[in-house]
Structure 1
Amino acid sequence: MPRFCLIGSYTGRNAGDAAILENVVRDIAEACPGAVCEVLTINPAFMRRTYPGLPLAPVATLPWNLSVKTLGLPLLLSVIRCDAVLVTSAILFDIKFWNPLYNYLTSLLLALPLAKLLGKKVFFHSVGVGPVYTAKGRAIVRYLLNLADGVTLREEASVPIMRELGVSVAPVMAADPALNQTVPAAAAEEMRARVESDLGPGPFATLNLNAYVAEWTGDKAGESLTRERFEAEMAAVVSGLVDDWGLGVALVCTHHMDEPVMEAVLRLADRPGKTVLYKCRHFDHRQLMAVMARSEFMVGMRLHCQILAVAAGTPCVALNYAPKVRHFMRMAGLEDFVVDMDGGFSAARVLERCNALRENRGTVLQEMNTRVGELKKAAKNAPAELARVMGG
């Protein structure tokens, strides 16, 4: 019975990561029947509560376990116990390199060479590579990838980065595992009733924002897109959708850190009875996806909100806070509905893209569903490659 050590950002605070983990574990069970997945986490209770029935064993990485997030004794012991180490998600970047609460490269430098020394397999499951800005970061990411017995990528944008780094391992193109997330019937019915109770039976849009506002700088008017201005513009978007379009708006918060931004937008919009905020601390990723699935469209900022929405058949207008957002929207056939976070960002620009999406909904959905169907199939390249690496 193979045993896998999974390294990724699995804290229970991010609904996107929760969806990734569910589908990675399902992939492993499909590729290697009877497998057990040891998942390094600061929140074992969340793992047990969220994934009943999956072959998942939480490994606590709290300070009293002699660990700083994933960096510590539990990681070493898991590598020793397991047959393979799997690196997942998008943790191959060098921002805040020396901070193990944020960056995972030090943990990987501990785990992967040890795995190879002990004769274990090393596999990168549907990862994104980058950004890597420093010479040190480039050297370390190259070294880690060259330890791999197999690499599968979630996005084509990682290929030129690997080439520029000089990685010798040939990657296999896959796609984000969360694209194959589904909504159980019970969750769909629960959230249908919940939304109708909160917003009424009429049509509604969904909205997702994140807290990375401070990283955006000047627009064409020479102003800075401050958090306060951003919140005011997005509140105007909500007001426009309610007052001018007759829609309800369900704000969907998929990370604990984003709650203050979304609470501020809800407060500034001030449309009681037509707006509601659903937080991932109260609803799991399946329930939040059920809300997205019922909405007419989403205005989304976090990448995995867009991924879960299109996986559920709901088109998106994306707020482009990072290159990965535009890249995914291009893959999904939705690049025309990307709003950049500079150059005069405004509520009017967001609403104009929403209107274009509504007017062309039939054509947009047909193209999106075709593209997303292809991506869902591509995501299954990862478990197939894992089976090959493990000798299956």
Structure 2
Amino acid sequence: MKAYLVGGAVRDQLMGRAHSDHDWVVVGATPEQLEAQGFIPVGKDFPVFLHPDTREEWALARTERKSGRGYKGFTVLTSPDVTLDEDLARRDLTINAMARAEDGTLIDPFGGQQDLRDRVLRHVSPAFAEDPVRILRLARFAARFHDFSVAEDTLDLMRHMVHDGEVDHLVAERVWQELSRGLMEGHPARMFEVLRDCGALRVLLPEVDRLWGVPQRAEYHPEVDTGVHLMMVLAMSARLHAPLSVRYACLCHDLGKGTTPADVLPRHIGHEQRSVRLLKELSERIRVPVECRELAEVVAREHGHIHQCLELSPAALVRLLERLDAFRKPQRVPLILQACECDARGRLGFENKPYPQAQWLTRALHAAQSVITADIAADAMAKGQQGPAIAKAIHLARIHAVEHGVIP
């Protein structure tokens, strides 16, 4: 029995990058042998174990045989006779198909080290085409290693997979899993560029794909193209180290512009409502978590009003805060404002502009929160008022607080 460090840990060692997870492949062993040594079985589809001391994953060397459509359409074969090279051959990219023996020897049967030097993302074998998740994984790695190119034959293979309908069989959970990981990489826009290059974006996220080629008014968007703007917004979200919910909101904030009638372009009147409808459909289709979809809906609906909040009256500011549900969920407001800042600065020439709207609306919220609603409600009830009358009294008190606490 021999154990080898494999995958990302080996790749990142060669790149001089920190890597906290260590995965191992075991050659020449059976599940019974590992369990006898105290390893804990955790794999559902194939034999994977946790080391009794380190809790690192150890998997028996395995091969796969295509048996159906989609990423689940495989029969996994494990045996003490499966070699390390056979196990590595089933992996997605050459840079992920290297191993280190326990004595430190590098095993690199598919040229991964050279592809690291050349900064190329390349598939290991034609078996890449059997698993559509690999398209998403490669795009995610492109978002992490943004200065790596995609090998032309790999891109051609991905295009063939899309044309063959393999991508149509991806399940929602895996799409969101890879999409969310890609959004959190250092250059998330690169993921969508790669997916668009191979045609997968049109299949998986048609609402996003149709934004390219849609013009916007140059006085507000010097970059003009809506798809280009979206990529700049995602780049800004990474620059500001935004959390996932904000980055998803950035991705979906302008979806409605892709359905603007051609005869009214480059104006996009009413795109906010269309964006909300489209992102609801998208979020449901790929099973986006509630906190992400709810934040995205608020941003899509209100980002234009937030951009204009410096010009709003105290009454309009309070109405905006109410639409943001800011008094019930004040912890969400900084996330909404960060997404709006990404949108405002994700424009050509605006990358380093300040976004005073965030401070202005935050001041308005703090002023409105100074109103002690319980006292107002008690006073109103003492006068025999109920329900709507109490709500109106609180609303007017908040307007008064904003007028005296924010407006000079």
TM range (shorter): under 0.3
Higher RCO (CA 8 Å, separation ≥ 6 residues) = 1
| Higher-Rg member (1/2) | 2
TM-score of the superposition, structure 1-length normalised?
A: 0.25
Q: Which has the higher strand share?
A: 1
TM-score of the superposition, structure 2-length normalised?
A: 0.25
